[in-house]
Every structure is written in structure tokens, then in C-alpha cells.
Amino acid sequence: MSSTNLLIRHAQILLPNGDFLSGDVLIRDRQIAQVAPGIRPPEDATDFTEIDASGLTLLPGVIDPQVHFREPGLEHKEDLFTASCACARGGVTSFLEMPNTRPLTTNQQALDDKLQRAKQKCLVNYGFFIGATGDNTPDLLAVNPTPGIKIFMGSMHGQLLVDKEAALEKIFAQGDRLIAVHAEDQARINQRRQEFAGIKDPAIHSQIQDVTAALNATQLALKLSKKYQRRLHILHMSTGDEAELLRQDKPSWVTAEVTPQHLLLNTDAYAQIGTLAQMNPPLRSPHDNEVLWQALLDGVIDFIATDHAPHTLEEKAQEYPNTPSGMPGVETSLALMLTQAMQGRCTVAQVSHWMSTAVAKAYRIPNKGAIAAGYDADLVLVDLNTYHPVLREELQTKCRWSPFEGWELTGWAVTTIVGGQIAYNKGKLDTNVKGEALRFDARQ
């Protein structure tokens, strides 16, 4: 294992209060020991690495709370090793992964299998959702460790689809674990698929899985959450209407997230990148982009996830509707959002809050999401002065494409540190670095 004793010098350090400090960070035994200007290496130090961070900005490592990393069972698209390399390159030091693998992650055995695989392969820290099937309530309540229960209310087929109100209510009524919903109304999608059958233009995807399908499901999830005061998280909110609904009526135990795609891309993307723009919930209008941005800025939406959902270019080259939905994201999310900050849309401190601090809080992940003594040394040094395009040949994700190819971005990760280990530095990965299983038991 690489040294976990580090001294980062001359960085612009983002402090928990949102201010920046020009100074140093001392890391010992995987944790932040000191944050101050002019730190000297300890006298007893034998194994210390110094990093000169002049001109760079130090942020807490990104925690991406919704990814699909495809292992086990779909490794032709991605696997835990390649995905975690992409994370390290993107400044993502922890991820929460979804249960639609093969086998599905619906019981302790499948969860343990993923944890075991991740322990051997992942350069970054990891956690795995448990999937609701409609008849696995005892598993949903008993498994550990997990950030929560994932329910696909729509946009899914087979065992992981739970689309009937009675079945949903049974899950909401038992236990108190966080429920994260993919909110789309499957009955409406089915009906509109028939109405629009035969249309091969992928732009129709946003019409079939329309704004009403998303709004119906979010309304139902909110209703059930209020009835049982059940901790609810709304995944990848895509429409202005859902944001306005939450603005009017958001119980304190409800959180919501948005993806960079739903903020920065819209239905115009189909004309440019065709089926690469196809995802669930689908891209919406420029007006939806604006309303989602405002909701994020106002705190109606709590944080950002990528919904990294890689498919191969061959799969995406089929004809709609045979093409799979989803796009990769972990490698570009931080730079995309920091570019927005540098262009004045928000602040760097807000980006870090949405991509790290707020996620740690919502999922009760202890010791992460801040640069302060005693916190885990999961950090990313970014360069906010240089612009560099998204290039296919530099991507680490196994699918090797991005909907943002050619976009000129700033704020790229220069160095990514996981538990005090340098996982990525100036274009080079250290594949000996290993992350750890996340815990979800922080005291509020």
C-alpha cells in the first residue's frame, strides 16, 4: 500500500464554513491530522510524502450517490475496477451503487458478494443499495451495511419493478431505513409506448417517458412518505414540475438529487448525439434545466449524483427503442460542475457541498465530506485555471464514451486521495490503492 502519511503544501483549501485557506494539510494514518498554514512534517516522521499544491484547490473527495457499475453479471459494459479507476480520475472518492446487476442485489448474500469484490478491486470507497422486489421485505430490513432501499417505481422490468401502490405501501409501512425511488409511472409509460410505437427517432423517448410520468410517481412517493413519515430520497429528479412540487411541500425527512445531465443537457442533445442522449428519466426541455438549477441553488434539491450508467457503443448503436438507456458520468461530473462555478452560475463551495458534504449528511456517512482534523483523508486537488476538453481516449470507463465529449472544462482532478493514499496523480492511476466499505451510521 502507498504511504498514508502525506503533507499537502500551499493549497487553496476549502474549509467547512465555505471559506478558503491558503495553507497545508497534514494526513496521518488515513485521516486529516491538521489544517493550517506553514505545517512542518512531524519530527518522528519516517515515511512521508509531500505534495506541492501551489496553484491548486483542495476539496473534499466527491461522493457519488447513484451509480451503476455492472458487476456482477454485466461486465462487458463496466466492472468495479474500471469504474473505480474512472472515479479516481474524476475526483470521486466514494460511490453508492445500484442493485440492477446480475444477480440482483436483493439479499445479504448478493450484498456480501459485491462487498467482497469491491474490497479486492476498488480504488475508492464503496457502498451498495439493496433492491426492493415487492416480496423481500425481511431482507430490506435486515441487510447491512447499505445506504438504503432502492425502488424502481418505473423504467425497469422483471423483479426490481415495484409499480403498484399496494406493494409500494407495504415497503413504506415497515421499518425506517432510507427509501430511494426512481420515480416514473410505469402504467403511463406502457400506455405511451403503445401510442408512439414504431417511431425510431430517439427524441420520442422524452415524450414516451414524459413529464407527467415523472410527476405522477414523485407525487405517489411523497404521499406514502408523508403517510408513514418515512425517510425518502428522490433520485435523479428531471422535471421542473417535480422541483416546484417539492418547493411547495417538502417534509424535513425528504431529500432529492439531480444529475449534471439534467442540468446541462436537454432534448436538443438527441439531434447531436442521438441515442447516447437516451437515459431514464429522460432529458427534458431547456426550461426544465433552468427550474432544476434554481431548485438546486435554493436548497429544494439537496445534492448531485451522476447515475453513471454505461452501455457499450455497439449497444447504443442499435435502433431506438432497442437501445439501452443510460450514460456514464463519474469522470466528468466534478469538472462539469466546477466549470459552471467558474463561469459564475454557482460557487465552488456550493459545488463541493452538493457533491460531497450534503451527500455524507443525507446518507449518514461518518467522517466524510469536509476538510477538518479527524475527518477521513478523502480529498481531491483540482486545477481551476486550465481548460481541457473531454477526450474519448482519456476516459477510464470501460464503455469509453461520454455525452460531453469535446466540452472544454476546467476544475479537472489533478490528484485524488483516498484514505490518505494517492489513487490518481496527473494522469496516472495507482491500482494498488484500495478503498474501504462505507458506513451509514453517523449520528445526526
Choose the stretch contacting ligand DOR; rule: CB under 6 A; options: 88-96, 323-331, 364-372, 383-391: 323-331
HEC secondary structure over the chain = CCCCCEEEEEEEEECCCCCEEEEEEEEECCEEEEEECCCCCCCCCCCCEEEECCCCEEEECEEEEEECCCCCCCCCCCCHHHHHHHHHHHCEEEEEECCCCCCCCCCHHHHHHHHHHHHHHCCCEEEECEECCCCCHHHHHHCCCCCCEEEECCCCCHHHECCCHHHHHHHHHCCCCCEEEECCCHHHHHHHHHHCCCCCCHHHHHHHCCHHHHHHHHHHHHHHHHHHCCCEEECCCCCHHHHHHHHHCCCCCEEEEECHHHHHCCCCHHHHHHHHHCCCCCCCCHHHHHHHHHHHHCCCCCEECCCECCCCHHHHCCCCCCCCCCCCCCCCHHHHHHHHHHCCCCCHHHHHHHHHHHHHHHCCCCCCCCCCCCCECCEEEEECCCCEECCHHHCCCCCCCCCCCCCEECCEEEEEEECCEEEEECCEECCCCCCCECCCCCCC
Taking the complex as a whole, the smallest distance from the CB of residue 324 to ligand DOR amounts, in Å, to: 6
Q: Are 280 and 326 in contact (CB under 8 A)?
A: yes
- Does residue number 68 form part of the binding site for ligand DOR (CB under 6 A)? yes
Among 57, 261, 325, 357, binds ligand DOR (CB under 6 A): 325
- Does residue number 326 form part of the binding site for ligand DOR (CB under 6 A)? yes
Taking the complex as a whole, the smallest distance from the CB of residue 326 to ligand DOR amounts, in Å, to: 3
Instruction: Give Cα 74 to chain centroid, integer Å.
Output: 19
Among 125, 209, 255, 280, binds ligand DOR (CB under 6 A): 280
Handedness of CA 426, 428, 429, 430 (dihedral sign): negative
Q: Pick between residue 23 and residue 329 the one whose CB is nearest to ligand DOR.
A: 329
Active-site residue among 288, 307, 376, 383? 307
Among 62, 151, 276, 309, binds ligand DOR (CB under 6 A): 309
Taking the complex as a whole, the smallest distance from the CB of residue 100 to ligand DOR amounts, in Å, to: 5
Q: Pick between residue 100 and residue 107 the one whose CB is nearest to ligand DOR.
A: 100
- Does residue number 105 form part of the binding site for ligand DOR (CB under 6 A)? no
- Does residue number 329 form part of the binding site for ligand DOR (CB under 6 A)? no
Cα separation of the two ends of the chain: 33
- Does residue number 239 form part of the binding site for ligand DOR (CB under 6 A)? no
Q: Are 377 and 85 in contact (CB under 8 A)?
A: no
Among 4, 94, 100, 259, binds ligand DOR (CB under 6 A): 100
Choose the stretch contacting ligand DOR; rule: CB under 6 A; options: 81-89, 292-300, 321-329, 376-384: 321-329
Choose the stretch contacting ligand DOR; rule: CB under 6 A; options: 26-34, 110-118, 258-266, 324-332: 324-332
Binding mask of the shown chain, residues 15 to 54, with x at each position contacting ligand DOR by CB under 6 A:
----------------------------------------
Q: Pick between residue 182 and residue 230 the one whose CB is nearest to ligand DOR.
A: 182
Among 182, 230, 233, 284, binds ligand DOR (CB under 6 A): 182
Among 222, 279, 334, 377, binds ligand DOR (CB under 6 A): 279
Taking the complex as a whole, the smallest distance from the CB of residue 108 to ligand DOR amounts, in Å, to: 22
Taking the complex as a whole, the smallest distance from the CB of residue 280 to ligand DOR amounts, in Å, to: 4
Angle at 443 between CA 380 and CA 347, to 5 degrees: 35
Choose the stretch contacting ligand DOR; rule: CB under 6 A; options: 210-218, 319-327, 332-340, 408-416: 319-327
Cβ-Cβ contacts under 8 Å for 157 (sequence gap 6 or more): none
Taking the complex as a whole, the smallest distance from the CB of residue 281 to ligand DOR amounts, in Å, to: 7
Handedness of CA 182, 359, 230, 130 (dihedral sign): positive
Binding mask of the shown chain, residues 122 to 161, with x at each position contacting ligand DOR by CB under 6 A:
---------------------------------x------
Note if 307 is an active site residue. yes
- Does residue number 222 form part of the binding site for ligand DOR (CB under 6 A)? no
Angle at 77 between CA 269 and CA 387, to 5 degrees: 50
Q: Pick between residue 309 and residue 365 the one whose CB is nearest to ligand DOR.
A: 309
Q: Pick between residue 5 and residue 100 the one whose CB is nearest to ligand DOR.
A: 100
Residue nearest to ligand DOR (CB): 326
Which residues are part of the catalytic machinery? Answer: 307
Contact residues for ligand DOR (CB under 6 A)? Answer: 68, 100, 155, 182, 279-280, 307, 309, 324-326
